[in-house]
């Protein structure tokens, strides 16, 4: 009897340890993949945008202060991508079309940043943007030419892009909403266009 | 004692930075070679630890159940996609990976397995098979990249390797149930 009791004690200790392990390892059972953990953390921390130089399709160069006082809906892509990026940018286009014209350029700017600056020159991006109805002004496509700055930006947003053998990148995808003060406010599922549109419209309306 | 030395040598070899880099560069090797090999290193050290602390294991793991539950919990923890990413991203998690696979998976498995009743052994094999089947389906069919550090194609390969292991476990259970081994053993 006494022996059996000890087995229960050690079993309880083991189970408690297991519970703690899973609890810590998954941020309290909320994040079973790194991607969820990263998104949760970004939303919680709301990092500010780092100082990097963007080069857009009109070959203008500026940093994020260009967008001060405006919401920015950001995505990361590269134009030679044949898998998820076209879907991602098409989904951006869907949101873009839903936003009333009075807000566009005034209260919100769409910004698609390429993480493949070597191939995505302003000329290439200028062609690419036309496929999705981006006007280059209210919806800009830009590259970060400086490699160090690019790495810094990707790191800040938790974007991991791994080049594969076929000239493609494997990368994580999301919509990033930056608020008028230059802080990352929300990271949204890129497949849930309606949900993201609602959030964007809600943010714009509450801003006034 | 000799086994324990082999275990320590294997453990140290696996912990060498170039070996770590190589093993972790391929998802399936990371999951199904590096981690189990650390477990085997732990299993090799197990008898020595039992000799060293006979009372502890006798007292707290008499019927083998607490030990095997510890094995299962930690084992299943390491199939969470995030655990593998965390091991790559964080040094502390990497250290925990080596520690846990050797001492919370390898050691309790070897010391508990012989104490278990046949029924418990089947339960353990089935739990492993079921969790591996779930992971196989997840990795084979998920359209999303589950580990940020690995390509989707790596993920597919890992899915197949999970499936292969499930197949082997099922094969083992079936032969164990239906083959009369005494018929093949010499008098």
In sequence order, what are the residues at sequence separation of 6 or more whose Cβ sits closer than 8 angstroms to the Cβ of residue A93?
Answer: A132, A133, A134
Q: Is the ipTM of this complex over 0.90?
A: no
pLDDT at A92: 93
The number of beta carbons lying within 10 Å of the beta carbon of residue A164 is 12
B145/A172 CB distance under 8 A = yes
- Residues B180 and B161: beta-carbon distance below 8 Å: no
Which residues of chain B does A6 touch, with a Cβ-Cβ cutoff of 8 Å? 59-60, 62
Calpha distance A182→A63 (Å, rounded):
11
- The residue count for chain A: 208
Tell whether A163 is within 8 A of chain B (Cβ). Answer: no
- Residues B30 and B23: beta-carbon distance below 8 Å: yes
- Let me know if A102 is exposed, middle or buried by CB neighbors in 10 A (0-12, 13-18, 19+): exposed
Which residues of chain B does A21 touch, with a Cβ-Cβ cutoff of 8 Å? 73-74, 77
Which residues of chain A does B89 touch, with a Cβ-Cβ cutoff of 8 Å? 34
A162/B149 CB distance under 8 A = yes
* Percentage of chain B exceeding pLDDT 70: 99
Calpha distance B31→B87 (Å, rounded):
11
Instruction: Report in angstroms the alpha-carbon separations of B58 from A77, B52, B53, B117, B155.
Output: 58, 12, 9, 16, 41
Q: Give the least confident one: A25-39, A92-106, B38-52, B124-138.
A: A25-39
B60/A7 CB distance under 8 A = yes
Tell whether A167 is within 8 A of chain B (Cβ). Answer: no
Whole-structure pTM over 0.80, yes or no? no
B82/A22 CB distance under 8 A = no
pLDDT in tens, B147-183: 888 888 889 999 999 999 999 999 999 999 898 888 8
A148: helix, strand or coil: helix
Tell whether B146 is within 8 A of chain A (Cβ). Answer: yes
Which pair of structure tokens corresponds to residue A191?
């497949």
A32/B63 CB distance under 8 A = no
B153/A21 CB distance under 8 A = no
A35/B144 CB distance under 8 A = yes
Residue of B111, B145, B150 to mutate for A, most A C-beta atoms under 10 A = B145
Listed by number, the residues of chain B in 35-64 with a beta carbon closer than 8 Å to a beta carbon of chain A are 59-63
Q: What is the CA radius of gyration of chain B?
A: 18
Angle between helices B118-141 and B65-77 (to 10 degrees): 0
In tens digits, what is the pLDDT along chain A, a chain of 208 residues?
456 788 899 999 999 999 999 999 998 888 888 888 888 888 888 888 888 999 999 999 999 989 999 999 999 999 988 878 888 999 999 999 999 999 998 899 999 999 999 999 999 999 999 999 999 999 999 999 998 999 989 988 888 887 877 777 878 888 999 999 888 888 898 889 999 999 999 999 887 5
Which residues of chain A does B150 touch, with a Cβ-Cβ cutoff of 8 Å? 162, 170
């Amino acid at each position: 009897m006494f022996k059996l009791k000890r087995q229960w004690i050690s079993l309880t200790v083991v189970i408690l340890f297991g519970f703690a392990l899973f609890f810590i390892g998954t941020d309290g059972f909320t994040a079973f993949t790194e991607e969820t953990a990263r998104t949760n953390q970004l939303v919680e921390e709301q990092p500010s945008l780092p100082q990097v130089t963007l080069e857009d399709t009109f070959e203008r160069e500026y940093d994020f202060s260009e967008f001060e006082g405006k919401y920015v809906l950001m995505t990361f892509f590269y134009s030679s991508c044949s898998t998820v990026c076209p879907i991602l940018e098409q989904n951006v286009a869907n949101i873009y079309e839903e936003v009333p014209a009075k807000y566009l350029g005034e209260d919100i700017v769409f910004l698609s940043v390429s993480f493949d600056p070597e191939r995505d020159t302003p000329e290439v991006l200028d062609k690419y943007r036309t496929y999705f109805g981006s006007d280059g002004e209210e919806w800009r496509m830009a590259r970060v030419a400086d490699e160090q700055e690019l790495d810094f930006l990707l790191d800040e947003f938790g974007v991991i892009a791994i080049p594969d053998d076929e000239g493609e990148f494997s990368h994580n995808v999301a919509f990033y909403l930056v608020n008028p003060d230059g802080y990352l406010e929300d990271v949204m599922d890129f497949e849930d266009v309606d949900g993201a549109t609602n959030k964007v419209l809600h943010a714009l309306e509450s801003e006034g | 004692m000799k086994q324990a030395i082999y275990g320590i040598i294997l453990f140290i070899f696996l912990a060498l930075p170039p070996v770590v880099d190589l093993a972790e560069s391929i998802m399936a090797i990371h999951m199904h070679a590096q981690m189990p090999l650390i477990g085997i290193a732990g299993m090799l050290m197990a008898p020595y630890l039992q000799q060293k602390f006979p009372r502890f294991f006798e007292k707290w793991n008499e019927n083998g159940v607490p030990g095997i539950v510890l094995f299962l919990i930690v084992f299943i923890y390491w199939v969470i996609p995030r655990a593998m990413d965390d091991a790559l991203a964080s040094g502390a998690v990497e250290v925990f990976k080596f520690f846990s696979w050797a001492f919370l998976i390898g050691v309790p498995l070897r010391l508990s397995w012989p104490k278990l009743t046949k029924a418990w052994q089947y339960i353990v094999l089935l739990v492993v098979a079921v969790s591996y089947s779930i992971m196989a389906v997840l990795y084979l069919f998920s359209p999303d990249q589950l580990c940020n550090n690995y390509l989707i194609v790596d993920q597919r390969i890992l899915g197949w390797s999970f499936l292969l292991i499930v197949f082997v476990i099922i094969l083992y259970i079936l032969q164990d149930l239906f083959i009369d081994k005494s018929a093949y053993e010499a008098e």
